[in-house]
Amino acid sequence: MKKPSSKIREEITKLQEQLRQAETREAERIGRIALKGGLGEVEIDDTDLQAAFEALAGRFGPRRADSVVASQSLSHAAKGSQTPPFGVEPGSDETAEA
């Protein structure tokens, strides 16, 4: 027997709440680690910080094939960030070109 739409909506609502809670736990965990690592004291643009986190995520796990993340990364690269990519020291000869 098929589920009525009201039951499906209830399940969706419950899953959305579970997702919100999981994202909150993950954000709090990452935030605590970032603060312990000294990122709370660093003055950096959110876009540059996100790019650095994306580079870090790429080092330790598979990248998401999320078109939003990809388009943000491309947009960031196209703007020509003032901040060197994660892991590249300012003034070094290493470039971020791929």
List, run by run, the mean pLDDT of 10-residue segments along the chain (98 residues).
93 98 97 93 92 92 56 50 49 46
Query: What's the pLDDT at 79?
Result: 52
The pTM assigned to this predicted structure is 0.54
Query: What's the pLDDT at 1?
Result: 77
Q: Which long-range contacts (CB under 8 A, 24 or more apart) does 86-90 make?
A: 86/51, 86/52, 86/55, 86/56, 87/55
Torsion from C-alpha of 12, 23, 69, 63, nearest 10 degrees: -100
Query: What's the pLDDT at 50?
Result: 93
